[in-house]
Amino acid sequence: MDMPASPVWQEQLFLGSWKSGDGDQINVVEPATGAVISKLKIATAGDVERAATIARDTQTAWAMVPFDQKAEILRKAAALLKERANEINDWNTRECGSVGPKADWELQATYEQAQMAAALPMQPNGEIFPSNMPGKRNYWKRVPIGTVGVIAPWNFPILLAMRSVFPALAMGNAVILKPDPKSSICGGALMAQILSDAGLPEGVFHVLPGGPEVGQALVEHPLVKMISFTGSTAVGRKIGETCGRTLKKAALELGGNNAQVVLEDADLDIASSCGAWGAFLHQGQICMQTGRHLVHTSVAEEYLSRLASRAENLACGNPAQEQVHQGPLINGVQAKRVEDIVNRSVEMGARIVTGGKRHGNYYEPTVITDVTSNMPVFSEEVFGPVAPVMTFDSDSEACELVNESPYGLAAAIHSGSTERALKIANRIQVGMIHINDQTVNNEFQVPFGGMGSSGNSGRFGGPANIEEFTTSQWISVMEEGIQYPF
């Protein structure tokens, strides 16, 4: 990829349009090589103040734009995503370590999100309720919240930002996006340019790359009326506490430690394929990653053999230079963290079947067995290409193992009997369950979200977006006023 000589994001922030910012420059580092591939202007708390004020001043006019004009802008944004796919995907690969098919899938999913959001403004947005007072009409409708702050992660930086940005805009809100500094070009600057070129009015959308200081300023700012956060449970709890204290709406999509349950009547070829995809896609750096493989004792050895064979066939390397299945982890800190989790689990008695070695920012696709529930590889969200396998002897035991985790994002169940699998699904406390499929599922038209430590039951997707990114208002009308007793 040919990098632009002086890209606008090196010197400016997108504060409704490209403007000078108060913060410093940082290096954008390619995780595959450690090379500096660009510079990035970082926002400050002062920039949050500027953005929030501009957003407040432009949001009312944007909310009044007719629904068909909002939809046209979002459809144009969708078209531009496709037109600029090569540029966006190249940055996703270089900046985030994404392999080509992952980048392609993320772009397509983001395109679908834009098309879905374009359909939202034309949906019914209220109801009429009866009254026991003659001549009175009660209108109840959904109205924009105001300014929505979106804090997005680095692993799927485009999709996980735009799945909030697009519907929030569609419902008449202004949006301030804080992308992670590790993914602020593909997941921030390029998206700002797309929305601007699509015709979004100046001042309605802002992009403020930055770390915790910027995030905290965004969460605490009184002009920001909602926070949509995707990231770790620890950070999400702090955001939830602040939003609760300030009576601010929060949509929290947090971590996961997702289980795939393989029953003795499962098709092991399909189950191991789903297990490999769920564990190793994007180096396992996905909140919906299959982090726990729970397999019936009678088929565990066969499942292990097939899963290990699939892991051994995965090619690792620099996705910008060669066709590979696995790229690098996002940085050395994360690679060492995965290594530490595996090593501590091995010290406690786990056995590595294949993989288990770190090479700089790369970590081999790893299958590990003899796992117990007290091991970190089972109890923690690994966020790396590691597939821990644990056995069970009954359906009840499988359900208990799934529910043992405080997380409740996704699960998969493999069985030759969908009826049996549905009975197990009814006993599992997670937000999404996929029968004879893998845990990493996303469809733009289906509400998405977790339970427990995986979120606060907020939902993204399809009709859930209308409620998520609006608040309600009751207006009653009397054609003629009435006299009260005093």
- Catalytic site positions: 253, 287
SS3 63: helix
Q: Name the strands in the sheet holding 366-369, side by side, starting at the edge strand that comes first in the sequence.
A: 351-354, 366-369, 386-392, 290-296, 258-262, 410-414, 432-435
Is the distance from CB of 220 to CB of 246 less than 8 angstroms? yes
User: From CA 411, how far away is CA 404, in angstroms rounded?
Assistant: 13
SS3 324: coil
SS3 68: helix
User: From CA 75, how far away is CA 218, in angstroms rounded?
Assistant: 28
Query: Strand locations in 214-315, DSSP E?
Result: 226-230, 249-253, 258-262, 290-296
User: From CA 81, how far away is CA 115, in angstroms rounded?
Assistant: 11
User: From CA 206, how far away is CA 175, in angstroms rounded?
Assistant: 6
Is the distance from CB of 160 to CB of 442 less than 8 angstroms? no
Please work out, in degrees rounded to the nearest 5, the angle formed at the alpha carbon of residue 406 by the alpha carbons of 405 and 410.
Answer: 70
Tokens of 133: 């007072």
Q: Is 130 exposed, middle or buried, given 0-12, 13-18 or 19+ CB atoms closer than 10 A?
A: exposed
Long-range contacts of 215-219 (CB under 8 A, 24+ apart): 215/151, 215/178, 215/239, 216/45, 216/242, 217/45, 217/48, 217/49, 218/48, 218/149, 218/151, 218/176, 218/178, 219/149, 219/151, 219/243, 219/248
* Strand bridging mode 432-435 / 126-129: unpaired
Measured CA to CA in angstroms, residue 93 lies from 26, 33, 34, 120, 187 at distances of: 19, 12, 13, 31, 12
Phi, then psi, of 217 in degrees rounded to 5: -60, -40
Is the distance from CB of 249 to CB of 226 less than 8 angstroms? yes
Is the distance from CB of 122 to CB of 35 less than 8 angstroms? no
Is the distance from CB of 206 to CB of 177 less than 8 angstroms? yes
Per DSSP, 485 falls in state: -
Is the distance from CB of 169 to CB of 150 less than 8 angstroms? no
Please work out, in degrees rounded to the nearest 5, the angle formed at the alpha carbon of residue 150 by the alpha carbons of 147 and 152.
Answer: 170
